[in-house]
Amino acid sequence: MSEANERIYRGLLREMAALAASAAADGTPHITGTVVPEPGADGVDADGEFLFDDGLYVRLRPAAEATEALVEVYMLDLALVSGPARDLLFHAIGQCNAVGAAGRPFAIGVDERDYAVLFRRLPLAGMTAETLMAEMSYLVEQGRDVRSLLNQLALGTLPARTIPAADGASA
């Protein structure tokens, strides 16, 4: 990551933490998350991690190209579902991707730990904390809607509070 992009990214993390803290204090809708760790001073791989009251976990990190930030919204642990219900969930994720590509683009995938993850790459150039917060709010709302849909398709069997732990186990 270039020095300029590193400064932009670190500044965004600091501003996001401040915005999330002030919004949580005054009850602003859509920004009820709390920053899990403090952004570290060592290296640009520090992630902004937000945990929302309903258990939705959101991570902001530099993308591989280092000119973009990657927003990841972890929705559900799909390892909890098997058989035809699992097949149905994967089909629904594919259908949601078609819808996500039509408007403000996002994609949904399944990570190596079997979490359904909604994600989007955002360019760092010209990004402000307010713009980033608006984008994250949109993605969080989409994540909540998709999580609700997937849970309904699985006949309400999936717990709402499934947060990916660092070691890959559910918290």
Cα end-to-end distance, the chain, whole Å: 32
Task: With residue 151 as reference, give the H or E element that holds it.
Answer: helix 129-153
The whole-angstrom separation of Cα 62 and Cα 82 is: 33
Beta-ladder partners of 109: 117
pLDDT tens, residue by residue, 27-79: 544 444 444 444 444 433 456 777 777 778 888 887 776 788 888 999 988 88
Beta-ladder partners of 51: 34, 57
The whole-angstrom separation of Cα 20 and Cα 30 is: 10
**CATH number for the domain whose boundaries are 3-153:** 3.30.1460.10
Whole-model pTM? Answer: 0.71
The whole-angstrom separation of Cα 7 and Cα 124 is: 10
Residue 55: alpha-carbon gap to chain centroid? 12
Query: Which two three-digit tokens encode residue 106?
Result: 């996002």
pLDDT of residue 34: 45
Confidence check: pLDDT of 117 > 90: yes
The dihedral over CA atoms of 47, 75, 133, 28, expressed in degrees to the nearest 10, equals -120
Q: What is the mean pLDDT of the chain?
A: 74
